Amino acid sequence: MTAISYPLAERTLANGLRVIVSEDHTVPNVAVNLWVGVGSRHESPGRTGLAHLFEHLMFQGSRNVASGEHFSALMDEGARLNATTWFDRTNYFETVPTGALELALWLEADRHGYLLDAVTQDNLDNQRDVVKEEKRQRYDNVPYGSALIDIYATAFPEDHPYHHPTIGSMEDLDAATLDDVHAFFRAHYGPNNTVLTLVGDVTPEEGFTAAETYFGGLPPIELQTRERHQQLPPLSEPVRLDRVGDVPNDRIYVSFRLPVDTTPDYLACQVAVDVLGGLASSRLVRRLVRTDETAVSVGGWTMGLVDGVGLGTITVDVSVGADVEQVEAAVCEEIRRFADEGPDDAELESVIADTERSWLSALASIEERADHISHHALLTGDPAYVNTFVDRIRAVTAERARDAAAAWLDPASRAVVRYLSDTSKDADQPDDTDRPDRPDDSTSSTDSPDSPDKDSEEAA
Amino acid sequence: MTAVARPVVAAPQPWAFPEGTTQDLPNGLRLLTYDVPGQYVVSVRLGLPVSLRDEPREREGVASIMARTLDEGTAEHTAEEFARLLERKGVSFGAGMGDAGLSVDLDVVKGNLEPALDLLRQILTEPAFPQAEVARQVRTRLAEIEQERSVAAHRAGLEFVRTFYAPDDRSSRPTGGTRETVSSITRDDVAAFHAEHVVAAGGTIVVAGDLEGLDVPALVEGALGGWDKGPRERERYLQHAAALAPDRGRIVLVSRPGSVQTEFVIGAPGPDRSVDGGWAPYPVLGFVLGGSPNARIDAVLREEKGYTYGIRSSFRPRRRGGVFLTSGSVRADSTAESLRLLVEILESGRNGFTDKEIRSGVDFIAKTAPGRYATADTIADEAVGMALDGRTTAFTTDNLRDLATVDRSRVEAAYARFADGAGIGAGGPGAGWTIVMVGDASAHLEAVEALGLGDVTVVTDA
């Protein structure tokens, strides 16, 4: 057991900007990380995708910065940078050599304060095209690429902020105007809706002083906040969506509405999903992959969200020739058994050990550490969560995990999305034994600097 | 408000890759340790100079199946028990084959390093390769073959190696084997491949992380000192240079009717790290041509035209020889125009570079180094990668020093050396490149042929 105790110092500027500094001098770098309290959950009908399209425009120049200069000026100083948009927030970040910290803050302050001086119709049109290619590349031109979109639409009600994905719709992207962009900036981008985290080779006083120098002059905005939605109850009956088409094998996603992030019940659900499908020794792996051999692989994950609901999903890649209905029934059976029995000691021990190692790995880099600190400062109000998360998982008892599963993972409340291969087409295909399958390591195109993570939209 | 003046940046201090220590065990295993304070997850990396060319032709993929079955049961434990043993200690484990050899990766919190090394000992020296587990990994690989075939980027990569490398060279075929070869792999094939090749001689193990208070040499010696050396000495790296296809300079269009994008892989033979004139200019070249949103490719195809989310270029060295690769996807209706632009930009190096471009590339690569090598896993990955390349991380440091001296003339000379070697610029535009596209052939074939960049072959998957 490793004690986690990263130092945290916090100050709020007069204009409302929350600044958090976590000192770490092991490398002469500083991670600069801003979370703005706007994401796709704040979008209005007919304007989906706007938060993400807007994030792209943040790289196209501001009052004192030319289009593209944010990237080039920082990269010339050895920065690694990008931005991402997600349901609950928009995130801008760069890791810079210590000597470039002030330049990074100056550039960030210029666009976070004065973007609209530079936004043009040409930039909007160009980045709209880029975002459409991002959508085609990541969702439309990949097998199962739209699965998450289908899961959100199936598990969450139509009028719920998480019903539509962050990438938005092509039609809405087309409809976005310069006026929309201006209104969006004025409504959401301001120091009092932003958290700035600095992790690395900087003392708290240096960090606070620099933040004041560059961000202190930004005026606060008139923030229209609404209450977060009430917790959604589990679905009252199973819902399902089938997609039949050109996929290599049948895949089932069994999803559940969960409590909101960081609540004890959410964490208990996280433990339950890990025991069911999230680890190599999980129950569904043992049952479906090792024993029944009806699945090629099984996965389980939870998504922590803040606006009245979270999400938990079990994914199963079904073996060729196995019965999809039977596999789904087996998943439900194992979930019910878990809700009756709860986890045993070895299962809990595995979840805790796995969580500890993966959490420490995540915090090992200053950029990811900064991201988690910003996350919890902005969305749950507790940046020290980075130091307490593993203890919170450790505190989940067997009874608590069992009860949480009974309450939230009841198969009668499942949302099922299935991607099924079109067997009518396969019947006509000849057996082709010399199909090539996998690129040599050196030709993999998946490790480009812009390879996306699975659940948020990036600028580049 | 008063505008705050743009701050001046203080130049960073010179930097060197973390210093490691080296110890050779009597069984031929070399131990490299890197003490990285504050890195509480320790990364263990083992590199073995096992060659894909040692797989029987009709059993290609056996090395990969072997790697994936190493932890699926040992002399003392079933597969399921072993998975639980790893998990109860929070060990993340993986093993896989590549052109440079067999790689084994293990990450664990510092306090569990000793039991984790004992589990690694069992994995390496006592794997049982149960029939059921081998059969399961074979089925998993067959499903993976279908998955990869259906993903345009993977499909393009496969067609690229098939077009670029000589048909009788192992590199022209998938690392993990094909449906035909994988289907026939048995438990005995796997056990035999393991017995012959997974021995200590020539191996390099790296341990990186916060090592304060740990006697890593004693722990590694205790766990792996008894690992069989094998019947003979073995070099620590493989030497084979892959043979290229005589007709590699052509365009292959893999048909995907109705595709909303076209996926590109464009490549040509590149240098390895021992190239005359030094390796340092090549990453700069890759950066300037296609390494960032402001690089020549994305400046046009993304920021000006809006055809793509992003296309990336890089030089990928092997121990002997290498490849320069450009890959990404574009909107379907811009396919031919994108190809024309890509070839024009990739060949524009012949017309020289600006000092500003070169400065940007040098600065980015040099100044990001401390951050790129800040965590235990990235340090261990670099160290084992260098070992399998016949080098040490002193190369990483020396190369960064050399990088500081790279200027326009060195980069232009490097481009000329690369282009001459690849045959780029020898004929018309497009000569010397292997160009693979995955997209709607019927929609784009005519326009691609009309570009006059080379012969076009259409490939149709069943």
The DSSP code sequence of A194-224 is EEEEEEES--HHHHHHHHHHHHTTSPPP---
Nearest Cα residue in chain B from A317: B143
Q: Which residues of A touch B91 (CB under 8 A)?
A: 357
Contact list, A142 vs chain B (CB under 8 Å): 151-152
Look at residues B27, B43, B230, B57 and name the one whose alpha carbon lies nearest to residue B120: B43
Q: What is the reported pLDDT for A2?
A: 61
Residue A372 in this model has a pLDDT that exceeds 90:
yes
Q: Using the beta-carbon criterion (under 8 Å), do B309 and A130 form an inter-chain contact?
A: yes
Written as one letter, the residue type at B54 is D
- Closest partner CB to A76 (pick from B84, B261, B363): B363
A216 and A94 both lie in a single domain: yes
Chain B hits for A433, Cβ within 8 Å: 178-180
- Which chain A residue has its CA at the smallest distance from B313's CA? A448
The token pair that represents B192 in the structure block: 């035999």
List, in sequence order, every residue forming a beta bridge with A315; answer none if it has no partner: A253, A299
Interchain contact, B267 vs A443, CB within 8 Å: yes
**Within a domain: residue A394?**
yes
Asked whether the beta carbons of A284 and A314 are under 8 A apart, the reply is yes
Q: Are residues A162 and A111 in the same domain?
A: yes
> Does the pLDDT at position A201 exceed 70?
yes
- Residue A432: list chain B partners with CB under 8 A: 461-462
Task: Choose, out of A291, A440, A446, the residue to mutate when testing the contact with B (most B CBs < 10 Å).
Answer: A440
Element (H, E) at B32: strand B30-35
Q: What is the mean pLDDT of chain B?
A: 97
CB contact under 8 A, B375 and A445: no
Asked if B145 lies within 8 A of A59 by C-beta distance, the reply is no
Spatial strand order in the sheet of B261-270: B308-317, B322-331, B261-270, B434-439, B251-255, B456-459
Closest residue by Cα to residue A356 from A314, A399, A401, A386 = A386
Q: Are residues A98 and A172 in the same domain?
A: yes
Among positive and negative, which fits the CA dihedral B274, B278, B282, B283? Answer: positive
Residue B378 to residue B208: CA distance in whole angstroms:
9
Question: How far, in whole angstroms, is CA A383 from its chain's centroid?
Answer: 18
> Mean of the pLDDT values across residues B302-307?
95
Q: Which of B137, B113, B273, B127 is nearest to B205 (CA)?
A: B113
B interface test, pick of A108, A135, A443 with most B CB neighbours within 10 Å: A443
Q: Does some domain include residue A182?
A: yes
Last residue in a domain, options A226, A249, A277: A226
Instruction: Spell out which residues of chain B touch residue A136, defining contact as CB-CB under 8 Å.
Output: 260-261, 329, 331
Q: Which residues between 103 and 142 in chain B have a beta carbon less than 8 angstroms from any beta carbon of chain A? A: 107-112, 136, 139-140
CA distance B26 to chain A (A): 32
Asked if B446 reaches chain A (Cβ–Cβ under 8 Å), the answer is no
Q: Cβ–Cβ of B292/A75 closer than 8 Å?
A: yes
Higher pLDDT, A457 or A192: A192
Amino acid (1-letter code) at residue A157: P
Is A322 domain-assigned? yes
Give residues with Cβ within 8 angstroms of B428, minimum separation 6: B452, B453
Rounded mean pLDDT, A172-193:
96
Any domain includes A429: no
Q: Is the distance from CB of B366 to CB of B403 less than 8 angstroms?
A: yes
- Judged by CB atoms closer than 8 Å, whether chains meet at B327 and A289 is answered as no
**Amino acid identity, position A327:** V
Which of A17, A80, A92 lies closest to A52, judged by CA? Answer: A92
What pLDDT was estimated at residue A1?
A: 57
- pLDDT (mean) for A278-291: 96
Closest-CA distance, A221 to chain B, in angstroms, reads 15
User: With an 8 Å Cβ cutoff, are A440 and B259 in contact?
Assistant: no
Interface test with B, best of A320, A357, A363 (most B CBs within 10 A): A357
Work out the number of other CB atoms within 10 angstroms of the CB of residue B412: 18
List where CATH 3.30.830.10 sits in chain B.
21-224, 251-459
For B367, the closest of A97, A134, A293 (CB atoms) is A97
Please check whether residue B371 touches A, CB under 8 A: yes
Q: Which residue has the tokens 């620099």?
A: A210
Does any domain span residue A94?
yes
φ/ψ of B98, rounded to 5, equals -145, 180
Residue entry with tokens 């992207």: A173
Task: Please report how the helices A345-363 and A366-379 are oriented relative to each other, as an axis angle in degrees rounded to 10.
Answer: 110
Confidence of residue B161 (pLDDT cuts 50, 70, 90): very high
Minimal CA–CA distance to B104: which of B136, B59, B71?
A: B71
- For residue A401, which of A413, A389, A393 has the smallest C-alpha distance? A393
Quick: pLDDT tens for A327-371. 999 999 999 999 999 999 999 999 999 999 999 999 999 999 999
Which amino acid, one-letter code, is at B457? T
> A160, A192, A226 — which closes off a domain?
A226
Q: Taking CB atoms and an 8 Å cutoff, what residues of chain A touch B34?
A: none
- Please check whether residue A428 lies inside any domain of the structure: no
Are A95 and B462 a contacting pair at CB < 8 A? no
Which B residues in the span 81-100 are in contact with A, Cβ-Cβ below 8 Å?
83-84, 86-92, 98-99
pLDDT band at A422 (very low <50, low <70, confident <90, very high): confident
- pLDDT score for B279: 98
**Is the pLDDT reported for residue A440 higher than 80?**
no
Structurally, chain A folds into a number of domains equal to 2
Would the pLDDT of A431 be above 80? no
CA distance A341 to A398: 9
Interface touch A450/B308, C-beta < 8 Å: no
> Are residues A289 and A212 both part of a single domain?
no
Please determine, for residue B191, whether its predicted confidence score (pLDDT) is greater than 80: yes
Its CATH class, for the domain covering B251-459, is alpha beta
Of the residues B142, B146, B301, the best mutation for testing chain A's interface (the one with the most A CB atoms within 10 Å of its CB) is B146
A2–B139: do the CB atoms touch at under 8 Å?
no
Q: What CATH number does the domain containing A264 carry?
A: 3.30.830.10
Condensed to tens digits (0 to 9), the pLDDT of residues B21-60 reads 999 999 999 999 999 999 999 999 999 999 999 999 999 9
Chain A contact present for B377, CB below 8 A: yes
Q: Judging by DSSP bridges, how do beta strands B251-255 and B456-459 pair with one another?
A: parallel
A209 and A245 inside one domain: no
Q: Is A456 domain-assigned?
A: no
Nearest neighbour of B99 by CB, restricted to A354, A433, A442 = A442
> How close B303 comes to chain A (CA, Å)?
7
Q: What percent of chain B has pLDDT over 90?
A: 97
Show the tokens assigned to A13. Answer: 């500027």
Please give the structure tokens belonging to residue B450.
């009309």
Q: What percent of chain A has pLDDT over 70?
A: 92
Q: How many helices (H) and strands (E) does chain A have?
A: 16, 12
Q: Inspect the interface and report whether the beta carbons of A430 and B86 lie closer than 8 Å.
A: no
Copy the structure tokens of residue B162. 């098939």
Contact B88 A106 (CB under 8 A): no
Per-residue pLDDT of B407-456, as tens digits, reads 999 999 999 999 999 999 888 999 999 999 999 999 999 999 999 999 99
* Contact criterion met (CB < 8 Å) for A134 and B374: no
Nearest to A27 among B147, B302, B370 (CB): B370
User: Using CB atoms, which residue from A67, A296, A441 is nearest to B140?
Assistant: A296
Q: What is the DSSP letter of B108?
A: E
Cβ neighbours of A375 (radius 10 Å): 23
**Contact status, residue A181 vs residue A124, Cβ threshold 8 Å:** yes
Sheet (strand B92-98) strand order: B21-24, B30-35, B204-209, B41-48, B101-109, B92-98
B321 to chain A: nearest residue by CA? A442
Instruction: Give bridge partners of residue B456 from the DSSP assignment.
Output: B251
B306 to A140: CB separation less than 8 angstroms, yes or no? no
A222 shares a domain with A248: no
CA distance B327 to B314: 9
Name the residue in chain A with its Cα closest to that of B52.
Answer: A440
Restricting to B residues 187-206, those with a Cβ less than 8 Å away from any Cβ of A are none
**Which residue in B9, B178, B331 is closest to A434 by CB distance?**
B178
Whether B258 contacts chain A with CB within 8 A: no
Shared domain check, A204 and A273: no
Query: Quick one: pLDDT at residue A447?
Result: 28
Q: Are residues B67 and B194 in contact, defined by beta-carbon separation less than 8 angstroms?
A: no
Scanning every residue of chain B, which has its alpha carbon at the shortest distance from the alpha carbon of A134?
B309
The answer to whether the CB atoms of A133 and B366 lie below 8 A apart is no
Chain A residues in contact with B369 (beta carbon < 8 A)? 78
A272/A277 Cα distance (integer angstroms): 9
Q: Are residues A45 and A188 in the same domain?
A: yes
The range of the structural domain enclosing residue A417 comes to 239-423
Q: For residue range B281-293, what is the model confidence (pLDDT) as tens digits? A: 999 999 999 999 8
Burial of A242 (C-beta count, 10 Å sphere; 0-12/13-18/19+): exposed
Give one DSSP letter per residue of A263-291, joined into a string: SHHHHHHHHHHIIIIISTT-HHIIIIIII
A449 pLDDT more than 80: no
Both tokens assigned to B178: 């094909």
Residue A208 has pLDDT above 80, yes or no: yes
Q: CB of B170 within 8 Å of any CB in chain A?
A: no
What dotted CATH number matches B21-224? 3.30.830.10
Residue located via tokens 């784009």: B444
pLDDT of A29 over the 50 cut: yes
Min Cα distance B201 → chain A (Å) is 24
Mean of the per-residue pLDDT values of chain A: 92
Whether residue A175 sits in one domain with residue A255: no
pLDDT tens, B384-409?
A: 999 999 999 999 999 999 999 999 99
Does residue B147 carry a pLDDT above 70? yes
ipTM rounded to 2 decimals? 0.95
Contact at CB, B87 and A279, closer than 8 angstroms: yes
Q: Are residues A295 and A222 in the same domain?
A: no
Q: Is residue A433 part of a domain?
A: no
Give me the mean pLDDT over the A190-209 stretch. 98
Number of Cβ pairs < 8 A linking chain A and chain B:
307
Do A146 and A16 belong to one domain?
yes
Residues A80 and A131 in one domain: yes
